[in-house]
Amino acid sequence: MTDDFKDLPEELQVLYETMQDDLYDGMKDEVVEATRAALDQWRQTPAEILQRGLVTGMDMVGADFRGHSAIYAPVEMTDDRRGILAQTQDATPQILFADLDLEKLRNGRRAYPILDLMNPAVNRQLAEPKEP
């Protein structure tokens, strides 16, 4: 596999860049079509397609969601009903603070008693190792 993306033919670079964009946009059919073209027309190996198209595409997706840390709470506790008490504005290292209204938290827990809905017997059964 050629290590340097720039060494690939320009048309193949465009195919991979388009595949990355389509992956980012969630366009499954277009990603499948580009994968088939890379296999059939360009004789790329599955490993090359995985690395150049799909892994790089996922790196692009991940770059947009890096940072922007947040402190979450039940939506009922937030004024805009988004469930975000505080959020950073960019990916730079930061310390994030938020005020937590304990009374609102108690009210939310009373309104949605999720712990009362748990089934410990089923949870234990799901946690048991399965025989191969």
For residue 84, list its beta bridge partners: 72
Q: Using one digit for the tens of pLDDT, what is the confidence trace for 82-124?
A: 889 999 888 788 889 999 899 988 888 888 777 777 788 887 7
Domain locations in the chain as residue ranges: 5-65, 70-127
At residue 34, the pLDDT reads 92
83: CB partners within 8 A, 6+ apart: 72, 73, 74, 75, 77
Contact assessment for residue 67 and residue 90, using Cβ atoms and an 8 Å cutoff: yes
| DSSP 8-class letter at 87 | E
